[in-house]
Amino acid sequence: MNDIFKALNDATRREILDLLKQKDMPAGEIADAFNISKPSISHHLDILKRADLITSEKNGQFIIYSINTTIMEDVLQWILTFKQ
């Protein structure tokens, strides 16, 4: 769970998740939405993957990234336990 909150603590990673809410995307398309280097985007994607917030699938020469809604549901359920 610590990896998830560490990943969510960064504004760029939250913006990446917002992009992936709309549709699955290759890394290049994600990078085009930001004014930072592609290696930096790759670093952010790696952190999101390690936290299991996104998944990736190779499609030809591209890697397509998707949001992992299952882990989001788990986090939401955990947070909601504090409301009781």
Q: For 4-23, give the DSSP string.
A: HHHHHTSHHHHHHHHHHHH-
Alpha-carbon dihedral angle through residues 25, 29, 35, 36, given to the nearest 10 degrees: 70
Q: What pTM did the predictor assign?
A: 0.89
Residue 1: CA count within 13 A, CB half-sphere: 7
Q: For the chain, which domains are there? A: 2-83 (1.10.10.10)
Q: What is the pLDDT of residues 53-64, one digit of tens each?
A: 999 999 999 999
Please identify every stretch of the chain with a pLDDT value under 50, giving residue numbers as ranges: none
